Amino acid sequence: MLTVTDWRELSACRDSDPDIFFPVGTTGPAVDQIRKAVAICSACSVKEECLQYALETNQEAGVWGGYPEDDRRRLRKRWLAERRRRRQAS
């Protein structure tokens, strides 16, 4: 299992402009920045680790694991519900 430090060292965005991963807003120029960030994520070998980290630590801003803020917020609601269901079942 990779530690946080390990997967970050393997990230495809390591040398990318951080502004495209943390655009201001979700309209106008941010649309293109988000699209570029998601494209970089799609080729990232640690996408799953990144997304898991973002869900576990409730990262609200930016693109993580290929998911922009709004998409990740919806995904996190489902992720939390599934986690609750698994804990109740065990």
Q: Which is nearer to ligand SF4, 39 or 81 (CB)?
A: 39
Q: Which is nearer to ligand SF4, 31 or 39 (CB)?
A: 39
Q: Token pair 């494209």 is at which residue?
A: 39
Q: What kind and span of H or E run contains 78?
A: helix 69-89
Instruction: Round to whole Å and give the CA distance between 27 and 11.
Output: 26
Among 66, 68, 72, 76, binds ligand SF4 (CB under 6 A): 66
Query: Where along the sequence are the contacts to ligand SF4 (CB under 6 A)?
Result: 11-13, 21, 40-41, 44, 46-47, 50, 63-66
